[in-house]
């Protein structure tokens, strides 16, 4: 579409890909980052980095040796058989202790490579795991559509038109797994020199990932009993309600995450300016970017729902979770940063409206 920020398109076979670069759909990461990430994952340089980080050359024949035992006594392979100390690389037969520090440039370079490799492995492993989970979820969705809907409709005596919420849940799971995978590529290239942005990124990513795991668990495990035997109508209604709510909440989490990343985590600036402000700011004075961020609740990573209220909660002073300002109990938004108040459920961590008495997600009562 004209003016659209995304190039993701869907083929008639349901395959999603980027129209601009031809790779798989990769929101919220741009095409340049995708190219760098794919090249990095297939680069021989990563093998070199692994060898540098986790092996040492035999002092005699220079063959790389990997330490796979706890002892520091190393023996080179045939035909060398040289025995040496892993820590100082000295001949083991003349070895005493090696607790004295020597500023060895090679050892420092090895430690630097090890840290680099461990950081890369962290992001690559999670990217690859979510890619694999996405493919598994796509296969599960196909099984739901071709097999389980018919079984469920027959057992629960329901037409398939009333079971579309299952397909919607699995479509959301597949899409969220794809997005979550690419957020790890985003995180790898996010500069460490900006800790505020990294903290916001990891918070939003963590909220979205937790929501996705709850949705995936519900769609995968809580459905199984209904496929085996008939349950009461109320039990099935409760399951449908929970899965539908989880689908909506997870969608909101990921929409907030994608919006924040595609905007370069610009909300960090508005949050910083809010925390140092000395005067209360009215909503009407907010610029469009701040208003959009407020409406989306990007930092909280939660969609605000309307629920029942009690005077006891409304009258309590409350601390703003964004800027820590202490507000009067009657205030519905923070007098300092103009954001709405929320409370985190002790059971599922869902962010509820400040005046809600029960959690919208798990229906547990709010703790005093």
Do residues 167 and 219 touch, judged by C-beta distance below 8 A?
A: no
Q: Are 350 and 249 in contact (CB under 8 A)?
A: yes
- Residue 319, SS3? strand
CA distances from 154 to 149, 150, 157, 202 (A): 9, 6, 5, 44
User: Which value, to the nearest 10 degrees, does the dihedral of the CA atoms of residues 106, 112, 115, 117 take?
Assistant: -80
Tell me, yes or no, if 61 is annotated catalytic: no
Identified catalytic residue from 11, 13, 58, 71 = 71
Ordered DSSP codes for 11-64: -TTS-EEETTT-SB--TTS-HHHHHHHHHHHT-HHHHHHHHHHHEEE-TTT--E
Handedness of CA 295, 296, 299, 300 (dihedral sign): positive
CA 9 to chain centre: 23
β-strand partners of 85: 73
CB 226 within 8 A of CB 236: yes
The C-alpha atoms of residue 224 and residue 146 are separated, in whole angstroms, by: 16
Any idea which residues carry the catalytic annotation?
71
């Amino acid at each position: 579409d004209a003016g659209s920020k995304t190039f993701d398109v869907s083929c008639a076979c349901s395959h999603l890909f980027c129209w601009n670069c031809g790779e798989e759909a990769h929101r919220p990461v741009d095409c340049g980052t995708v190219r760098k990430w794919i090249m990095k994952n297939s680069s021989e340089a990563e093998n070199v980095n692994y060898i540098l980080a986790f092996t040492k050359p035999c002092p005699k024949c220079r063959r790389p040796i990997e330490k796979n035992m706890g002892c520091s006594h190393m023996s080179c392979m045939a035909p060398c058989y040289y025995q040496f100390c892993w820590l100082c690389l000295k001949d083991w037969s003349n070895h005493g202790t090696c607790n004295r520090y020597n500023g060895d440039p090679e050892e420092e370079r090895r430690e630097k490579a090890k840290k680099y490799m461990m950081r890369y492995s962290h992001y690559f492993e999670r990217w690859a795991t979510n890619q694999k989970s996405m493919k598994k979820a796509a296969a599960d969705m196909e099984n739901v559509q071709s097999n389980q809907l018919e079984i469920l409709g027959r057992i629960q005596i329901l037409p398939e038109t009333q079971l579309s919420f299952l397909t919607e849940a699995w479509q959301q799971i597949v899409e969220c797994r794809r997005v979550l995978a690419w957020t790890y590529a985003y995180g790898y290239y996010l500069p460490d020199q900006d800790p505020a942005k990294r903290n916001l990124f990891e918070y939003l990513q963590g909220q979205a990932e937790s929501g996705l795991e709850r949705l995936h668990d519900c769609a995968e495990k809580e459905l199984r009993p209904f496929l085996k035997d008939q349950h009461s109508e109320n039990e099935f209604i409760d399951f449908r309600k929970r899965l539908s709510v989880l689908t909506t909440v997870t969608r909101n989490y990921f929409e907030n995450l994608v919006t924040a990343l595609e905007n370069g985590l610009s909300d960090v600036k508005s949050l910083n300016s809010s925390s140092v402000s000395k005067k209360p700011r009215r909503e009407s004075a907010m610029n469009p970017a701040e208003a959009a961020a407020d409406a989306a609740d990007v930092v909280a990573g939660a969609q605000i729902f309307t629920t029942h209220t009690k005077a006891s909660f409304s009258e309590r002073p409350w601390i703003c979770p964004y800027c820590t300002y202490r507000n009067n109990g009657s205030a519905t938004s923070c007098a300092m940063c103009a954001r709405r108040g929320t409370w985190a459920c002790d059971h599922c961590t869902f962010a509820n409206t400040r005046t809600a008495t029960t959690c919208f997600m798990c229906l547990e009562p709010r703790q005093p």
